[in-house]
């Protein structure tokens, strides 16, 4: 613990300069092989032997190896394939999702406009709420209004809950400490268990609503499923009818998968967008260049849409650079792998059950792939013709068998949220206050400290509704 410090991936990156790109160490009692560069991660993660997940103690105890993120073997293969197929069917990565995403963005923008440029730290709650709504509406068939206190509470639990499940947290390193009656140990453990139960009850409520609507509709079995939960329940019913007693389409698997998708689809994208704001405040010339590009191509009288993306290369390059520098994926609960059998990597023997840590931070600051890696410079993602270039060492969503299944949704959300925020607002530090990307915490994600920011409505921004009202006058 004392060796790893507050930001384990940074410390492991430094150790790589001494011990090489692949080295091992112990996290508590667990042998961990650290992969500090792109080639090593690619070599390992393309192989099925590395597709098991290392589970922090708390997660193992509560998830019981079910769901998507912590399942292994056949259970994981079947349900990952099913989830990806269904999410794509219901719009993931497709243009049909654009209108609901823009609706969330505009509701958030309306809130920020009302604050009229005064300092506010509301963005964390707003982003998390509206991004949760995207996944909840298309995958789980329900969206929640901004003032829904229960939903806000559930969303707020995610970060709190999962910073405890990090592989370098005390409870994970030494599970016995959960019995110590200190608030920061046993107390936090109890809180995790309580939050976890609330998340599962939230998922159960979503499923109950679906089951209730089926009772009200006697023809539901002939109808096309409307969302992921519907499709899952239908598959469960079919398996039951066909007498498949060993079916894995059962309630705990469904509830855990909902929780995994909900968490995966919320905290990650929201944290990346908070980094976006910090980098835009730190680099005002980049912010203005993004705005100028949007103003030239789209104007300010309508929202930026996916159809505009190909004509906004600097905006896209800026988002990629934000992801490279923000490095939100930590060694937290859902990125560390485990070997499913004995393996060899670059001549090293890695026994079955060894934890394998992809250090995405080290990959993204590796000077061999990224000259002047510590400098924020979107131009590194543009070629001489100002077209996007993506070096292979850019892997914020990981690579290989367990790579993020939500990548296409996240890419869409990042583009629409970021471009529309910059089109509508100039983001600034409050007068006299310095905002720096050096202030961050490492938990479930590597996240900037939530701080007051001013959102000044762009003078020449005029949304469609206001324009129409003016024309009427």
Binding site for ligand HEM (CB under 6 A): 53, 68-69, 80, 135, 260-261, 264-265, 268-269, 272, 328-329, 334-335, 337, 396-398, 402-406, 409-410
Residue whose CB is less far from ligand HEM, 314 or 360: 360
Burial of 28 from C-beta contacts in 10 A (0-12 / 13-18 / 19+): middle
Calpha distance 312→330 (Å, rounded): 30
Q: Parallel, antiparallel, or unpaired for β 355-358 and 52-53?
A: unpaired
Calpha distance 234→243 (Å, rounded): 14
Minimum CB–partner distance for residue 190 and ligand HEM (Å): 26
Is residue 355 classed as helix, strand or coil in its secondary structure? strand
Minimum CB–partner distance for residue 227 and ligand HEM (Å): 13
Residue whose CB is less far from ligand HEM, 178 or 402: 402
Minimum CB–partner distance for residue 418 and ligand HEM (Å): 11
Residue whose CB is less far from ligand HEM, 188 or 354: 354
User: Using CB atoms, what's the residue nearest to ligand HEM?
Assistant: 406
Rg of the chain (C-alpha set)? 23
Tell me the two tokens of residue 267.
Answer: 């905290």
Residue whose CB is less far from ligand HEM, 51 or 312: 51
Q: Which residues contact 468 (CB under 8 A, 6 or more apart)?
A: none
**DSSP-assigned letter for residue 224:** P
Residue whose CB is less far from ligand HEM, 58 or 131: 131
Minimum CB–partner distance for residue 45 and ligand HEM (Å): 6
Minimum CB–partner distance for residue 65 and ligand HEM (Å): 12
Cβ(442)–Cβ(8) below 8 Å: yes
Minimum CB–partner distance for residue 329 and ligand HEM (Å): 4
Count of Cβ atoms closer than 10 Å to residue 438 Cβ: 9
Minimum CB–partner distance for residue 169 and ligand HEM (Å): 18
Calpha distance 22→16 (Å, rounded): 7
CA-CA-CA-CA dihedral for 59, 64, 68, 72, to nearest 10: 110
Rounded (5°) CA angle 51-55-56: 150
Report the b/e string of 391-428 with b at 16+ CB within 10 A. Answer: eebbbbbbbbbbebbbebbbbbbbbbbbbbbbbbbbbb
Minimum CB–partner distance for residue 53 and ligand HEM (Å): 6
Minimum CB–partner distance for residue 243 and ligand HEM (Å): 29
Residue whose CB is less far from ligand HEM, 98 or 457: 98
Residue whose CB is less far from ligand HEM, 298 or 416: 416
Calpha distance 399→407 (Å, rounded): 11
Residue whose CB is less far from ligand HEM, 53 or 309: 53
Residue whose CB is less far from ligand HEM, 162 or 189: 162
Minimum CB–partner distance for residue 83 and ligand HEM (Å): 7
Which residues are paired to 425 by β-bridges?
457
Tell me the two tokens of residue 336.
Answer: 């560390």
> Could you give the C-alpha distances from 226 to 90, 120, 214, 412, 417, in angstroms and in order?
8, 38, 12, 21, 26
Residue whose CB is less far from ligand HEM, 10 or 452: 10
Calpha distance 12→269 (Å, rounded): 25
């Amino acid at each position: 613990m004392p060796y790893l410090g507050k930001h384990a991936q940074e410390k492991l990156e430094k150790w790589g300069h001494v011990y090489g790109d692949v080295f091992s160490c112990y996290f508590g009692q667990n042998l961990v092989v650290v992969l500090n560069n792109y080639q090593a991660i690619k070599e390992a993660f393309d192989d099925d032997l590395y597709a098991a997940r290392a589970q922090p103690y708390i997660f193992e105890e509560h998830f019981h190896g079910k769901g998507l993120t912590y399942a292994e073997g056949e259970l994981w293969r079947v349900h990952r394939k099913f989830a990806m197929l269904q999410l794509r069917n219901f719009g993931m990565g497709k243009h049909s999702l654009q209108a609901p995403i823009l609706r969330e963005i505009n509701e958030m923008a309306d809130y920020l406009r009302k604050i009229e440029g005064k300092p506010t730290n509301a963005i964390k709650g707003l982003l998390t709420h509206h991004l949760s709504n995207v996944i909840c509406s298309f995958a789980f068939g329900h969206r929640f209004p901004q003032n829904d206190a229960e939903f806000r509470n559930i969303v707020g639990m995610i970060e709190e809950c999962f910073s405890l499940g990090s592989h370098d947290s005390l409870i994970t390193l030494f599970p016995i400490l959960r019995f110590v009656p200190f608030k920061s140990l046993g107390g936090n453990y109890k809180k995790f268990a309580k939050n976890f139960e609330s998340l599962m009850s939230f998922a159960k409520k979503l499923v109950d609503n679906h089951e209730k609507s089926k009772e009200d509709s006697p023809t539901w079995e002939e109808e096309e499923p409307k969302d992921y939960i519907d499709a899952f329940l239908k598959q469960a019913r079919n398996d039951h009818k066909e007498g498949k007693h060993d079916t894995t389409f059962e309630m705990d698997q469904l509830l855990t998968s909902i929780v995994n998708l909900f968490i995966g689809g919320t905290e990650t994208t929201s944290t990346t967008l908070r980094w976006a704001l910090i980098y835009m405040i730190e680099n005002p010339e980049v912010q203005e260049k993004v705005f100028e590009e949007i103003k030239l191509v789209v104007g300010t009288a309508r929202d930026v849409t996916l159809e505009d993306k190909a004509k906004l290369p600097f905006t896209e390059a800026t988002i990629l650079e934000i992801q490279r520098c923000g490095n939100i994926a930590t060694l937290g609960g859902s990125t560390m792998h485990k070997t499913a059998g004995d393996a060899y990597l670059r001549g090293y023997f890695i026994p079955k059950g060894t934890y394998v840590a992809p250090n995405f931070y080290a990959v993204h600051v590796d000077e061999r792939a990224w000259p002047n890696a510590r400098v924020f410079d979107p131009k590194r993602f543009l070629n001489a013709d100002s077209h996007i270039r993506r070096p292979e060492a850019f892997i914020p969503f990981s690579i290989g068998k367990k790579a993020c299944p939500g990548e296409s949704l996240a890419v869409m959300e990042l583009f629409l949220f970021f471009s529309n925020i910059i089109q509508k607002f100039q983001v600034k530090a409050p007068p006299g206050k310095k905002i720096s990307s050096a202030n961050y915490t490492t938990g479930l994600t590597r996240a900037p400290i939530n701080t007051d920011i001013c959102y000044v409505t762009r003078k020449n921004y005029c949304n469609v509704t206001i324009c129409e009202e003016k024309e009427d006058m």
